[in-house]
Structure 1
Amino acid sequence: MQNLSGKMIAIVATNGFEQSELEVPLNKLREAGATVHVVSLEPGEIKGWDKKDWGNSVPVDKTLSEAKPDDYDALVLPGGQINPDLLRVEPDAIAFIKSFWQQKKVVAAICHAPWLLVEAGIVKGRKVTSFNSIKTDVINAGGLWEDSQVVTDQGLITSRNPGDLDAFCEKIAEEVNEGRHERRAA
């Protein structure tokens, strides 16, 4: 994976994140040299969901009220069914995501996390993928859904499931190193 020394990445999640979809990017991006903060609604820890039951807890580095999008180069949104469903009704979470997009920074979402992109108004006219069960939601929001492992559209990275985490992390590193993305209208 490309070197990410000096880069700052936020992972926004809450209880019910899919274990591997937070932990694998967190570890891989840190191993590549990035400073990665887990950002959540409340301080303390958040608990993962590991396939069919509750998983491990992960410490929260910053709350949404403490974290500033200006300080980061990219945003990663892990999925799972519970996590994005809880976050998409939180105005602060949606505003945080929108800010990254408006600043032309990398936004990466996996599995069910494109629900957050739908809520933030980001998918319209963009090539995206997601877990199959939210395909219709993405299409209804104007997304150009693709049945692909990882899809990138001008700094927007989406991946369909946890089986694609290596390719997802590689694409995040590549896009972060490219810098801000000039986005033409969708």
Structure 2
Amino acid sequence: MKKVLLLLAKGFESFEASVFIDVIGWNLVDGDKTTKLYTCGFTKEVTGSFGLKLHVDYLINEIDCNDFDALAIPGGFEEYGFYEEAYHSEFLELIKQFDQKNKIIASICVGALPIAKSGVLKDRKATTYNHKSSIRQKQLADFGANVQKEPIVLDKNIITSWSPATAMGVALLLLKILTSEKNANYIKEIMGF
């Protein structure tokens, strides 16, 4: 069984979290049945953007990255305190551990920023939120990433993307890497995409 850890900072973007939950879940039920998703946060109940509350499976200090095959990080809203936890040293350390083990790290939108802040995107290709102003892409560059003007970027083991519109594409790419292209395409088809 391939285990995916969904790492949630407070203020996480609900749609971006949900695509990982759904794609990995659909695969467990109707796909090749080889993936399962677990959730993690700083507190047992994590409040996302717009007040959505999720009860997580693990606290961040309980995680051993050796127990998981991939890390998924949705973006979030500054207005809801996303960066307070996403930039916390334990959050960044967990990202580094997954990268050191060459495990897949999949992020959506500003979920790329804590990855970059951890140092693992230095001199690597990546992207992040790009709507109207390029402030988030500038932040990504300031952390040392080689910013790409593409909706989804895969550099070695790290997937980054630039908005909620790319969320399903990122989740399906993660599934493809964990299973197969045929299986990911099947899940995409039965989900109606």
TM over 0.5: yes
Residue aligned with 1:17, SS: coil
Within 2, Cα distance between the matches of 1:117 and 1:86? 14
Show CA shifts across 1:83-110 (max 9, x none): 6412244221111110000000001111
Structure 2: unaligned runs, 5 residues or longer: 29-34, 181-193
Within 2, Cα distance between the matches of 1:174 and 1:139? 28
Equivalent pair of 1:130/1:159 in contact (CA under 8 Å)? yes
Quote the residue 2:6 is aligned against. 11
Residue aligned with 1:65, SS: helix
Q: State the AA in 2 paired with 1:39.
A: C
Within 2, Cα distance between the matches of 1:171 and 1:58? 24
Bigger Rg, which one: 2
Any residues of structure 2 matched to 1:14-33 within 5 Å, and which?
14-33=9-28
Any residues of structure 2 matched to 1:74-153 within 5 Å, and which?
74-82=70-78, 84-132=82-130, 133-153=135-155
Quote the residue 1:183 is aligned against. none
Q: State the AA in 2 paired with 1:7.
A: K
Show CA shifts across 1:108-153 (max 9, x none): 1111111111221011111111002310111122211112121101
Any residues of structure 2 matched to 1:60-79 within 5 Å, and which?
60-79=56-75
The total of aligned residue pairs comes to 168
Instruction: Report deviation, 1:171.
Output: 1.0
Instruction: Report deviation, 1:176.
Output: 2.5
Residue aligned with 1:10, SS: strand
Within 2, Cα distance between the matches of 1:174 and 1:23? 18
Q: Quick check: which one's helix share is greater? A: 2
TM normalised by structure 2 equals: 0.81
Equivalent pair of 2:141/2:147 in contact (CA under 8 Å)? yes
Any residues of structure 2 matched to 1:163-174 within 5 Å, and which?
163-174=165-176
Q: State the AA in 1 paired with 2:77.
A: Q
Equivalent pair of 1:84/1:115 in contact (CA under 8 Å)? no
**Structure 1 pair 84/47, CA: closer, same or farther in 2 (3 Å)?**
closer
Within 1, Cα distance between the matches of 2:82 and 2:108? 10
Instruction: Report deviation, 1:27.
Output: 1.5
Within 1, Cα distance between the matches of 2:24 and 2:111? 18
Residue aligned with 1:121, SS: coil
Quote the residue 1:3 is aligned against. none
Within 2, Cα distance between the matches of 1:71 and 1:48? 25
Equivalent pair of 2:74/2:108 in contact (CA under 8 Å)? yes
TM normalised by structure 1 equals: 0.84
Instruction: Report deviation, 1:177.
Output: 3.6
Instruction: Report deviation, 1:38.
Output: 0.9
Q: Quick check: which one's strand share is greater? A: 1
Within 1, Cα distance between the matches of 2:176 and 2:85? 27
